[in-house]
Every structure is written in C-alpha cells, then in structure tokens.
A and B are shown apart, each in its own frame.
Chain A
Amino acid sequence: MHVTSPVREPLVQGGKTYADVTEDICRHVEGAPTKEWKIAFGISLLVLAYGSVCLAWTWWEGLGVWGLNKTVGWAWDITNFVWWVGIGHAGTLISAILLLFRQKWRTSINRAAEAMTIFAVICAASFILMHMGRPWMAYWALPLPNVFGSLWVNFNSPLVWDVFAISTYFSVSLVFWYIGLIPDLATIRDRATSKVSKFMYGTFAMGWDGSAKTWARYEYISLILAGLSTPLVLSVHTIVSMDFATSVIPGWHTTIFPPYFVAGAIFSGFAMVQNLMLITRVVYRLEDYITLEHIETMNKVITLTGSVVGVAYITEFFIAWYSGVEYEYYAFFNRMTGPYWWAYWAMMTCNVISPQLFWSRKLRRSITFTFFISVVVNIGMWFERFVIIVTSLHRDYVPSSWSMFSPTRYDIGDYIFSFGLFFTLFLLFSKYLPVVNMAEVKAVIRSTSANLPKKIGGVAKVRHQGVAEPSYNKDKE
C-alpha cells in the first residue's frame, strides 16, 4: 500500500514522475556512445585480446604452461572459478531473496546486479573449461553414454553436481533477468526513432503491451522464479563447497563449508555490486536512483556477511585444534605460520577486519571509503580461495612431496582474460540495455517519493476507504 514511515528516506530522490524515470534511464541507451564509454570499451577489448592470446597458448600447449606441479594440482584456475562464482551470487540474491523479503530498495540495483551475476558466471564457467585442458572434451561431463561402453558420468560425484548446479543457475538467472527486461525493452521500443533499434528492441520485447492480464501473470511468475532462485542460489555455492568438503584433504574436509562458502559468496558479490554501481551511478547520472541509502544498505549486508565469514574462519581454526587430528591441525597451523602466511593474513585483514569499519555510519555513507573497502573485500575473498586451495595442497601427507606454487604468466594471463571478458560484457550491457529496472522503479516511487505528505497513514486511508480522487499526487504534474 502507499504508505511509508517518515523516518525512512525515500528510495528515489528528486521528486521523479513516471515520465522522468523513463527519460533518465533511457537517455544513455538512446544517445550515442560517450567518449568515456568508448575509451573504457577499448581498454576492455585490449585486456580481453591479451587474455585471449594467453588462453589460446594455454589450450594449444596444454596445462603445463601453468605453475601446477604434482603436489599442487589445483591453483589459480579453481581459485578464480570459485571467486567468480561467488561474485555471481549477489545479483540473484538481490532480485530473488530481497523480492521475497519485500525489500523495495532492490529495484534500483537489481538489473545491473543480475547482469553482473550472469557475466561473472560466464567468467567462472570459462575457468572450468580452461582447467579441463582439452575444452573440446567438455561434453564428457554430461550424462551421455560413452563410446567405449555404456559407462555413465558418476552421479555420486560433487563435480558432476557442479555441472548441473552451475548450468541451471546460469540459465535460470538469465531467464529471470530477461523476464525483468521485457517491459523495459518495450518502453525503449515505443520511444525508438530509428528503424533498426525499433526492430531490435521490438523483437526482444516480444510484443509486450503491459495489459493487466499480462502484468498479473508476470508478477506471479516473478514470485515463483524468486522462490525457485532463492534455494538455487544457496545450492550453487553449497555444491561448489562440496567439491572440496567431500574430499579427504585436511583443511577441505569440513562440514562448515556450505554455509561458510555461501556467506563468502554474498560478501564478495555485494562488494562487486558496490564497485560497479558506484561507477555506473556517476557515469550515467543515476544519483537520484542509486542513493546513499542504497549504498549504506549494501554496506550493512557486507558487514553482516563479513562477520559470518569471520566467525567461520575462527570456528574452522578452533575445530582443527579441538578435533585432535594432527593433519587437520597442521593444515591450519601451516596456513597461519607457513610459507603462505602472507596470503592468510591478507585474507584475515581484508575479510574480517575491514568490513567491521562499516559500524561507523560516517564511513559506510562515504562513497570513496565504500569503493575502497569493496576492492579490499574482493582482494580478500580471492585470497580466501587461494588459501583454501593452494595452502591446503602444497604440504600434503608426505613431506618429501611438499612443494610451493608460483604462477606463470599464463596463470596471470588467463585471469586477466576473465577481467577483459567481464568488463567487455558489462560495458555492452550498460550501453545497450537500461541499467535500472524502469517498471519496478515506477512502481515504488509512489510509495516512497519525496512528494508524499510526511504523515503516517494519511496516504493509506485514500485507498482503504475507496476514495476515487487521489489528490496528493495532482500537484506533481
């Protein structure tokens, strides 16, 4: 209903009308690409090109070009994979879980966050293909009878679960994102002046007309998709964590992994959303839509999930000691004081200490500080995966096979490839599609707009008593 507590700041500022929303959001889609966009896109393409050369050499020559050895068989590839999948959790969390919780602030950021999710999952999937070494054999992960007999993939293996989880997550997120885009594509179609854009946006808008019947069904399926995506988004990182947890490597074989990984995923995903939104809101002048209130709310989520992650680190360490298993104990002792101590302490500083600074209201409402901490959190979360993977592997049961891992230029180059891919896709999205969900924002501006009288209940009465003339909105026009 159209009532909001006066203690809350309006979600959208500047007293926007429906037409203003359309105008503000469509502006960057309809205008010619700006110089800044072209420069950013050019840089992304260069980065992508450099990464592609490294990747091509990796595939041509084989995984021997990486710094792997017989003790450390997983390193940057899986670190990067888990890192990107983790980042890819925020979008669907924002659009699905926050929809179920009726958190209206999600409406300004869900479109861009979901796009980020999709691109991050694409980057993650590219590392799965990379670490196979022979990516043309990727279909072997699917349940197809193989040509040497009717042997099937092993459905007891978490690696096969992962194939299903990631592909389901990717395709369902894509569908959810596209469903949300259709009404906005129709808006752009109806405003388009050139034949090409009318045809392109018209084709993807699929003849959307916004009839009451369509909207009713749309809302219904959005709710079901949110209900499906909520356990889905939690299942994905749970299953990723099982890739580790079901093995018997000390440091991996722990039951705490699923919740710990999910919290870490949300943590890093929100940090990445912050990074992208802080830039997007300035470049596209969306300060009225993505307000300080949004930034502050996301910082609160970062603090919460960062604290969960911190508790998980400490619990893990306690259990390693309390279990009395000397291998388990050594794995954690080695993380803290072994040759990779700097990675462990980088992780602890970035992930456990830095988000606690957001308890200060002044800091969590500071844009510069938020941007800085978001970068720090993403660095910390990369180190978390590095610590879990490399530090647990490099000193295994037999001291004679202990070794160190150091990345080669191809490890680094393949990581750079994923950045090039991510930013190229995100820049294309931000130019050709509306970065804010117009239909959803229009639906919330009435209940939150600064135009509303600051009187509790004054607005709600209008609808409840069935008075036909809503006078409170007339002076706006």
Chain B
Amino acid sequence: MAELTGKYLVGVYDDDDTVLHAVPRLRKAGVKIKEVYSPFPIHGLDEALGHPRTRIGIAAFMFGVTGCCVALTLMIWTMGIDWPMIIGGKDHISLPNYIPITFELTVLFTAFGMVITFFISNGLSPAAHNHKRFDVRSTDNKFVMAIDMGRNSLSEEEISRALRDSGAEEVNIKQF
C-alpha cells in the first residue's frame, strides 16, 4: 500500500451493484484495474477483478494443527513422562481428560495465527496509519476504482470514457 507511485485514474461510483457490473465490462474493454475500494464487502468482486482465491484457510489449518500438537505434547510430557502421578485411578496419559485443553489450544493457535497472517498479508499494522489513499470517501459511502496509468496501454480519455460509461459519477486523477 505504501509503495503507491505514479499516476492513477480514480473512478468513483455510488452503488455497489454498479461497480460490480462495471468491473467485467471494463476488463472486457481492455482496462487493467488495480483495485476497488469499498465501505463494505461486495460478494463476487474479488472474483470479478481476477484476484486469486485467498489461501489464508490453509494457514489457519496449519496453525490449528500446531496448537493441537503443542497441547498434546505438553500434557503427555508433563503428566506421563516428567512427573507421572496416579490421579483418580486413571492412566498417567489419559487422553479423554486432555480433550478440553487440546480443543482450547487448537482454537487459540488457529485464531491468533490466522489473524496475524491476515494483518501481515494485507500490510495492516499500527504504523501504517498515514499511508496513501485514492479517495477517503471509500470508507463512507463511495466505491472507488483505481486504475494505474503506468500499466495501461489505453489513453487517459479512453479509460475515462469507459469509466463514465460503466456508471462512474466522478473520474479523478491522482498523482503520487
């Protein structure tokens, strides 16, 4: 996010359906869209933009497996190997009693690992509070489409016209 440089065309839409239908139309017309910013999630927008499906679920699963292993290792080692004691006439290693803590640690590791992965993969951090933005109204009521002029072969007028045709109410130029 912080590495934004160059010249951008910024299309501002006032409706989530309009912007969702604009994306395939513009892409068909040969416009390369950098990203769309919206105040709430629009289902299907990431697919329309051609973003690959997120792999954060795989990361979450790995963190979950880690948590599960940590919990079982901790309990089996402390109760069964390091200091075995007979409690309630049960085996030293009595797995049914370990289920609650194994479950809790699996959830804990998954949740924290996944959320930290989410922060890193989106560049979210407390230090990122003054990064560059295309249009601050995208967290209020506008849907903002950014087009990187450095990566498009079409001319400014052509893209601008295509944006307006697709329903954009404003087309602005943003230079970083």
Residue ranges of A at the interface with B (Cβ–Cβ < 8 Å): 2, 17-19, 22, 143, 149-152, 154-156, 158, 160-161, 164-165, 168, 171-172, 175-176, 179, 182-183, 186-187, 189-191, 199, 202-221, 224-225, 228-229, 231-232, 235, 239, 242, 438-440, 442-443, 446, 462-463, 466-470, 473, 477
Contact = CB atoms under 8 A, between A and B. Distances in A.
B42 A212 contact: yes
A172 B107 contact: yes
A462 B17 contact: yes
Interface of B: 1, 14-18, 21-22, 25, 35-42, 45-46, 49, 51, 54, 56-57, 60, 74-75, 78-79, 82-83, 87-88, 90, 94, 97-98, 100-101, 103-105, 107-108, 110-112, 114-115, 118-119, 121-126, 128-131, 133, 136-141, 166-167
Contacts of A221: 56, 60, 114-115, 118
B72 to A, nearest CB: 11
Contacts of A218: 41, 118
- Pairs A-B, 4 closest by C-beta atoms: A207-B128, A202-B129, A18-B141, A216-B46
Contact of B167 (A183, A206, A439, A468): A468
Contact of B38 (A143, A155, A172, A215): A215
29 contacts: A2-B17, A143-B74, A150-B82, A156-B97, A158-B100, A171-B112, A172-B111, A187-B139, A187-B140, A203-B126, A207-B131, A208-B124, A209-B37, A210-B39, A212-B42, A212-B46, A212-B51, A216-B41, A217-B121, A220-B54, A221-B56, A224-B110, A225-B111, A225-B114, A229-B107, A231-B107, A440-B40, A446-B16, A470-B21
A44 B162 CA distance: 58
Interface centre among A2, A152, A158, A219 (most CB of B within 10 A): A152
A98 B75 CA distance: 34
A215 B15 contact: no
Contacts, number: 205
B140 A155 contact: no
A212 B60 CA distance: 21
Contacts of B137: 190
Given A22-B141, A190-B139, A210-B37, A151 B83 contact: yes
B40 A217 contact: no
Contact of B140 (A171, A190, A209, A224): A190
Contacts of A208: 124, 139
Nearest to B138: A210
B140 A19 contact: yes
A207 B125 contact: yes
Contacts of A179: 115, 118
A209 B125 contact: no
B60 to A, nearest CB: 5
Given A152-B83, A439-B39, 13 more contacts: A151-B83, A158-B100, A161-B104, A165-B100, A187-B139, A190-B137, A209-B138, A210-B37, A210-B139, A213-B46, A215-B41, A215-B45, A443-B40
B84 to A, nearest CB: 10
A458 B102 CA distance: 50
A209 B104 CA distance: 33
A229 B25 CA distance: 40
A199 B129 CA distance: 7
A402 to B, nearest CB: 28
Nearest to B48: A212
B54 A217 contact: yes
A209 B1 contact: yes
A190 B107 contact: no
B105 A164 contact: yes
A477 B83 contact: no
Contact of A187 (B39, B56, B110): B39
Contact of A214 (B74, B122, B133, B136): B122
B123 A207 contact: yes
Nearest to A198: B129
Contacts of B107: 168, 172, 228-229, 231-232
Contact of A172 (B41, B108, B122): B108
B129 A189 contact: yes
A19 B141 contact: yes
A422 to B, nearest CB: 24
B35 A211 contact: yes
Interface centre among A160, A206, A463 (most CB of B within 10 A): A206
Contacts of B128: 206-207
Contacts of B40: 183, 215, 439-440, 442-443
A232 B98 CA distance: 16
A477 B51 contact: no
Contacts of B112: 171, 175
